[in-house]
């Protein structure tokens, strides 16, 4: 496995950072996760723009241009001989920029046919934090929430914000369908402005499905006709159970299927 690190392509075993790097010591850094289909990285320019916008907001210097990182990501795919791949760019305040590439064929088909489950976490998201809406290396809250959900038999954790509104999944954005309309937490709920989230909103509007971004309560989530999660790796993942509550008819819904098909066509 080859790793792109600070403008060099090296063997993974040789990829090392200093123990004094602020990313290692304090989680002071950012990352982006992308997916490649047939050697083409989906929406790479949007991912890089979000990375640089977050870096500017948090005063993290990225010593390379977007063009350089774009070329490096594609070179990483080529050197690792990966066509369908997971790509992660990590930037630390210690000045390190790392690109990891791994073969990725997607989630199991059963997750889309049968649906997945989620649990509302006890961990809350602070929508007022300067870290809200950014993919930082301060990821422990999300990891603990996800691990707790899995230990309880669920696939994903759903975090509420300090107001008790539905915010986001540990590794995903959330959508719900009610009476044929699509709803998702507004950005001021503290959620990540997901690239897949944005694509789904665009596709829904193209399909003449009304879309509303708003503050959503747990009651609205539980009473939804359909619920699905989005991220770059999973695309659109149907949720058929939240906690002990069955969502809709307890199977992936038609709006979810329609939008996922449209997303796949876009890909």
β partners of residue 5? 8, 98
Q: Quick: pLDDT tens for 80-138.
A: 999 999 999 999 998 899 999 999 989 999 999 999 999 999 999 999 999 999 999 99
- What CATH architecture is 2-103? 2-Layer Sandwich (3.30)
Question: What is the per-residue pLDDT across 22-53, written as a single tens digit (0 to 9) for each?
Answer: 999 999 999 999 999 999 999 999 999 999 99
The CATH class that applies to domain 110-266 reads: alpha beta
Summarised one tens digit per residue, pLDDT across range 122-179 is 999 999 999 999 999 999 999 999 999 999 999 999 999 999 999 999 999 999 999 9
Q: Which residues contact 151 (CB under 8 A, 6 or more apart)?
A: none
**CA proximity to 12, closest of 84, 101, 120, 85:** 101
Whether the pTM exceeds 0.75: the reply is: yes
d(CA 216, CA 188): 11
From the candidates 134, 178, 241, 246, give the one annotated as an active-site residue.
134
Q: Is 43 a catalytic residue?
A: no
In the chain, where are the structural domains located? 2-103, 110-266
């Amino acid at each position: 496995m080859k790793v792109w690190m600070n403008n060099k392509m090296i063997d993974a075993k040789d990829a090392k950072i200093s123990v004094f790097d602020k990313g290692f010591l304090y989680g002071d850094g950012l990352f982006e996760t992308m997916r490649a289909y047939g050697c083409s990285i989906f929406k790479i320019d949007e991912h890089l723009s979000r990375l640089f916008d977050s870096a500017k907001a948090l005063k993290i210097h990225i010593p390379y241009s977007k063009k350089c990182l774009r070329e490096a990501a594609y070179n990483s795919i080529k050197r690792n001989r990966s066509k369908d791949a997971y790509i992660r760019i990590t930037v630390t305040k210690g000045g390190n920029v790392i690109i990891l590439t791994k073969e990725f064929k997607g989630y199991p088909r059963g997750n889309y046919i049968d649906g997945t489950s989620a649990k509302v976490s006890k961990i809350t998201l602070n929508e007022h934090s300067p870290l809200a809406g950014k993919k930082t290396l301060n990821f422990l809250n999300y990891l603990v929430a996800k691990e707790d959900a899995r230990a309880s038999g669920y696939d994903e954790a759903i975090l509420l914000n300090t107001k008790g509104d539905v915010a986001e999944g540990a590794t995903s954005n959330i959508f719900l369908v009610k009476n044929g309309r699509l709803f998702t937490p507004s950005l001021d709920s503290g959620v990540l402005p997901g690239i897949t989230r944005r694509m789904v909103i665009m596709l829904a509007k193209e399909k003449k499905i009304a879309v509303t971004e708003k503050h959503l309560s747990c009651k609205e989530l539980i009473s939804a006709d359909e619920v699905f999660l989005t991220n770059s790796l999973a695309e659109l993942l149907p949720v058929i159970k939240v906690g002990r509550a069955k969502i809709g008819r307890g199977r992936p819904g038609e709006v979810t299927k329609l939008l996922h098909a449209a997303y796949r066509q876009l890909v």
